[in-house]
Amino acid sequence: MRLGALEVMFVFAFVDLFDNLGTLVAVSRRAGLFSEAHEIPRVGRILTVDAVASIGGGLAGTSTVTSYIESVAGIAAGGRTGVTAIVTGLLFLLSLLVLPLAGLIPTAATAPILILVGALMMSHAAEISWSDPIAAIPAFLTILVIPMTFSIATGLSFGLIGCALMKITRGEIKRSDWLLHALALLSVGRFVYIANA
């Protein structure tokens, strides 16, 4: 396998993983699905479904398949059992019949729902410990960078790098932080790759 193919696979895996995790955390928090141990129930199954969908999308020749943050709108409307997702999926299938007409709808028409979703997600910013720089600065970077770059993955990358740097500069590195630092290094590697591509 050529190096170029490996690079493309890494970038898609990185973006898909962070987009999916960011969406998963936001949607699960909004739906109140976190356990008492602050874990998402059945997260392994959720990531497996996303991986299988990504493979299926790749085989079908579509763009990267991933979970979408607009699910928060369904949760805000009362959806909790998964029926909302099934109905949305069926409506997406039906939309294939009118796909050429959907291209006539201006992107500005979707702005109101995206503003609503953003407002729903911002309600959780009150839970951030803004007096603690190790929590506040990475959170601020993430909240700022996501809308500026139109990418959850880029925003999370900035947040991870910021958190790792804050822990290093304050001398608060723990053995349990190894994954944070590994992901921060991967994020830096991704930015270096993008800059040199």
Per-residue pLDDT of the chain (197 residues; tens, 9 = 90+): 566 667 667 767 777 777 777 778 777 777 777 777 777 888 888 888 888 888 888 787 777 777 776 677 777 777 777 787 788 788 878 877 887 777 787 878 877 877 877 777 777 788 788 898 888 999 999 889 988 888 777 888 899 899 999 998 888 878 878 888 888 888 888 788 778 76
66 phi and psi angles, rounded to 5 deg: -155, 165
Q: Which two tokens stand for residue 174?
A: 């723990």
pTM value? 0.60
Cβ neighbours of residue 137 under 8 Å, at least 6 residues apart?
Answer: 162, 163, 166
Closest by alpha carbon to 154, among 43, 162, 51, 125? 162
Q: Can you read off the two tokens belonging to residue 168?
A: 């290093």
